[in-house]
Amino acid sequence: MPVQLAEINTSPPTTDDRLIFDFIDISAQFYSFKQDVINHIQQGIAITVEEHVQHLLALSSILLLKPARTHRDLHKHIDLNTCDALCQHIIQKHKMTNQSFPTEVKLQLEEIIMQLDMDGDRGKACTRLAASQQISALIRDGDTLNPVNRILLSIRNMVEKLPRQIIENGPKETELITRHLEAILSPLFEDLDNDIAFRWTSISDDEKQANIRPDASINIIHGALLSDRIGCGEVKAQYQALNHRFVGIDLVRVATLAKDASDKHKLKSIFAFLVVGKVFVLCSP
């Protein structure tokens, strides 16, 4: 992934806009790490997307925090314990911790799924349509899209849409999105009654170039016009899960697009996600 140093903002963080955590000036320490990355590039030291995603994102002033998995080069400026503590602080601040789910609803869901015809021999098992009707009956609070109802709608969609077995070598990106992820994610992120649209904007089985539209975008709608982007996502099929270059490019893309949207619309946070086959990664710049 070529880097044009002339396009990188090398200005230090302003004194009135600093992140201070546990009496540590994270902004200053991160800026120091960014300068190290620039120096490495100027010295001809290889920076690859497979091994140095945190370095590449630092060039766009994005601090990537992964629990217990931050790069040792970053630890020269922000130690591992501080990175992990800051990551946990951000998760708690944005209320991204576990949400409770009613036990009685969970038990009823499990009973419905257990009765579902999973092997195709029918017998006394219930059909997908019958299971869908039973799950719909569990929806609470009428027309409210609360977290419980969103999860119920997502599970109902999975019952209706997902095949019993993985077909051949598994779905490529287009089928993964249109059959699997659309069924699962749309009820969780979309709320058209409140003018929030979850859209698939760039679907293809071919590898895309960086810095174009994301695979998914969550936007506010004003009438017939799309407004602020408040979320975005990238997808890789399971057969590409071990291609660290492609996955790294997607992570850089979604993080950069999320930061651009956050800067443009002056957002305190933005929702971003990365799907790699069976793995869903949540980001929150």
Give tens-digit pLDDT for 48-107. Answer: 998 999 999 999 999 998 888 889 999 999 999 999 999 888 888 776 666 788 999 999
Of 7-11, 147-151, 182-186, minimum mean pLDDT range: 7-11
Are the C-beta atoms of 61 and 249 separated by less than 8 Å? no
- How far CA 209 is from CA of 46, 60, 206, 215, 253, in Å, comes to 21, 17, 10, 12, 9
* Chain segment 222-278, per-residue pLDDT in tens: 988 888 888 899 998 888 888 888 888 889 888 888 888 888 878 777 888 999 888
pLDDT beyond 80 at 136:
yes
* Chain segment 215-233, per-residue pLDDT in tens: 999 999 998 888 888 889 9
Nearest of 98, 269, 271 to residue 185 by alpha carbon: 271
| Reported pTM | 0.80
- How far CA 266 is from CA of 203, 204, 230, 270, in Å, comes to 28, 31, 11, 10
pLDDT beyond 70 at 198:
yes
Nearest of 162, 99, 110 to residue 134 by alpha carbon: 110
With a CB cutoff of 8 Å and minimum separation 6, the contacts of 71 are: 52, 54, 55
pLDDT beyond 60 at 144:
yes
